[in-house]
Chain A
Amino acid sequence: MTEIDPAAHPVRAPESVAPTAQALDGIVPAPVGLDSVIAEGLEIKARSQWDYARRRFLRHRLAMLGLVGLVIIFGAGIFANFVAPYSYSAIDLTNLLHPPTTVGHHYFGTDSIGRDYFSRVIWGIRTSEEVGVFVAAVSSVIGLFVGAIAGYYGGWVDNILMRITDLVLTLPALAVLLTAAALLGSGNQWRVSIILTLFFWTNIARVVRGLFLSLREKEYVEAAKAAGARDGRIMFRHILPNMLGPIIVNGTLSVALAILTEAALSFLGFGIKPPTPSLGVLVSEAQTNPQQWWLTVFPGLTIVAIVLFVNFMGDGLRDALDPTQRRVRA
């Protein structure tokens, strides 16, 4: 009875380890030993590039802080109608310019016509995040396509893109944005988003173009060409996945940049117009009551928090999505 038949317990036997390692490479189909490994509750899983990235991201403390902070702030904005105790336009004439208090849930006080400022900030987050996400998403997609074509084919698309860059580099950016806003008319968040997108896509297109220029010379592109792949397939199946990292990082950071720019435009009176509350509009309106500090401080702090968290997350993503960091134990 003391003898243990090694065949009955293949898991502990050293020879069963080697095939498992081979199975990881995907060359050898799972050998018999593997079944019993799974049966014992030990799981063996190949880690993909994305698994490594996710692990690195989850280990990045600042990035996780950013993610959690953003989820809370953006969550409050998305569910504004549940989170905000009042409507953003509800007027309470008995409570004008009331400092922050827990009485009646006026955590951020009230403004000059008695609207609950906490609710206005929450609804403002919603507007600002709509602008940020819209601008980042749409300009990433446009920038991706234009940059890919410009970088891969060169030619007139590339020429136009580079001439636009020249123009952008010689004009004061904010002044051009203001002029565009004066031309296209501002007002609600979607108009402002479209105006911002008109300027933001060039940034991403330039990044994508630069990456395409260097990646199109790689051996695997040559190999794909030799195998007879069409241009579209090479661009989007072979090259694109290799530069998703920088694109995602750029897109993330443009959320913050778009929110900041929207705030600046609204502040100068060329962006979102009241009564729609955006964080920039709120700070702008607070100018008329400089003695009521809470009117300026809270929406501004919210912008600072969003931008900081987005930047933290962007930094974390940059580190996580950089495949050259794979060797770091994660």
Chain B
Amino acid sequence: MLTYIARRVLYSIPVLIVSTFLSFLFVSLAGNPTAALRANPRFSINTLHNIEKQNHLDKSIPQRYLYWLQDVFTHKLGHSLTTFQPIWPDITRTLGHTAQVIIIAEGLAILLGITVGIFSAIRQYSLFDYTFTSLSFLGYAMPVFWFALLLQILFVDIYLKWNVRIFYTSGLNNPHHGTWSLDRLQHIALPVMTLCVISFALYSRYMRAAMLDVINSDYVRTARAKGLSEWRVIMGHVVRNAMIPIVTVAALNIGALLGGAIITETVFTLDGIGYYFVQKLQTDDLYAVMAYLLVTSVIIIVFNLIADVVYGYLDPRIRYD
């Protein structure tokens, strides 16, 4: 197992180098980060040249890439080209906010999704099953931002009509409120709800399909034949095995979402890493965009690896060597 993990990690290094170089090339060609400074009459052309020199913008793109790689390791991802602040504190702060939202949303979605999936499968083609099947179809078909906007409209309306503040519709928290204050929870409730609904649609479908797969297998018939109660057959034999694919799907999904729930965070102007990326991309802030892409790629690779390792651990039929 350890050699398998080591091999996967080693293999991901060249992939990361190629993908960061390609994105570096694309972002560099996409726009000039100093364009805004150039237009600013308070910056003399000498200052501008100094800034470009300091940030190696006068070099060729491959050279710049090497400088950037050096910055990644020696200066914790380097400095932003628009604010000239170090990038690392921004990344950790926004990633923390994203992680808080994702953990709550995914936790809820997994719990609800598995429960609904179990009952949908046990009572296949019942009213319950049909209701949630249609709902998850809707969940797949809905654009995320549209659903987020609908929630926003609803709670803005409630606030304006009755002057009740149930949930805030944008921002992260009011000043002087901490990470786990009620105020923060009121702020992140709607992003959490948005992500939760989308993921719930995914998990409940997967769980239902996995349950139906398992429920007809021979060992379930054996369990019934040896006289186990239906409850123990379902919980002990069916659900436990049906959860294996869910673990994989959840790990992949959480990895992808940690890479920025870009749309949700943008709608709710939540100070997460996805929103950070969109803002930086709009100002062609090369190094900040690259920092985001590198960090999220690493997260996605790690979660892909976790998904495979956990799958191999849970399912004895899978063996890596």
Interfacial residues, chain A to chain B (CB-CB below 8 A): 163, 166-167, 169-176, 178-180, 182-183, 256, 260, 263-264, 267-270, 280, 283-284, 286-287, 290-291, 293, 296-297, 300, 303-304, 307-308, 311
Contact = CB atoms under 8 A, between A and B. Distances in A.
Interface stretch (B63-71, B110-118, B293-301): B293-301
A308 B263 contact: no
Contact of B150 (A179, A280, A296): A296
B266 A268 contact: yes
B146 A171 contact: no
A111 B144 CA distance: 23
A182 B281 contact: yes
A171 B300 contact: yes
17 contacts: A170-B16, A172-B256, A172-B260, A172-B262, A175-B262, A175-B296, A179-B30, A183-B27, A183-B30, A268-B266, A291-B153, A291-B156, A291-B160, A296-B146, A296-B153, A303-B146, A304-B138
Contacts of B18: 163, 167
B143 A308 contact: no
Interface residues of B, number: 47
Interface string B132-158: 000001101111111001101100110
A269 B282 contact: yes
A183 B150 CA distance: 31
B15 A167 contact: yes
Given A167-B18, A172-B300, 11 more contacts: A170-B301, A172-B296, A174-B262, A176-B23, A178-B278, A182-B284, A183-B26, A269-B282, A296-B149, A296-B153, A308-B137
B19 interface: yes
B289 interface: yes
Contact of A182 (B31, B263, B300): B31
A308 B138 contact: yes
A124 to B, nearest CB: 13
Given A283-B145, A296-B149, A311-B137, A268 B26 contact: no
B304 interface: yes
Interface string B26-40: 110111000000000
Given A170-B12, A268-B278, A263 B300 contact: no
Contacts of B15: 166-167, 170
B45 interface: no
Given A267-B145, A283-B146, A291 B27 contact: no
Contact of A175 (B30, B149, B259, B284): B259
A173 B144 CA distance: 15
Contact of B141 (A171, A183, A308): A308
Given A170-B300, A172-B259, A286-B149, A300 B30 contact: no
A168 to B, nearest CB: 9
Contacts of A286: 149
Interface in B21-61: 22-23, 26-27, 29-31
Nearest to A301: B146
A304 B141 contact: yes
Nearest to B255: A172
A169 B293 CA distance: 13
A304 B142 contact: yes
Residue from B16, B157, B297 whose CB has the most chain A CB atoms within 10 Å:
B297
A179 B140 contact: no
Contacts of B31: 182
Given A287-B149, A290-B156, A179 B23 contact: yes
Q: In this complex, which of A176, A267, A283, A303 has the most chain B Cβ atoms within 10 angstroms of its Cβ? A: A267
A307 B30 contact: no
B140 A311 contact: yes
Nearest to B299: A172
B292 interface: yes
Nearest to A263: B143
B222 to A, nearest CB: 29
B300 A174 contact: no
A300 B256 CA distance: 24
Contact of B143 (A171, A175, A269, A300): A300
B277 interface: yes
Contacts of A264: 143-145, 263
Contacts of B296: 171-172, 175
Given A268-B263, A300-B150, A304-B142, A175 B277 contact: yes
Given A174-B262, A174-B263, A175-B259, A297 B150 contact: yes
B195 to A, nearest CB: 14
Contacts of A267: 143, 145, 263
Contacts of A284: 145
A267 B149 CA distance: 11
B125 to A, nearest CB: 14
Contacts of A166: 15
Contacts of B256: 172-173
Contacts of B152: 290
B95 to A, nearest CB: 13
A179 B297 contact: no
A311 B23 contact: no
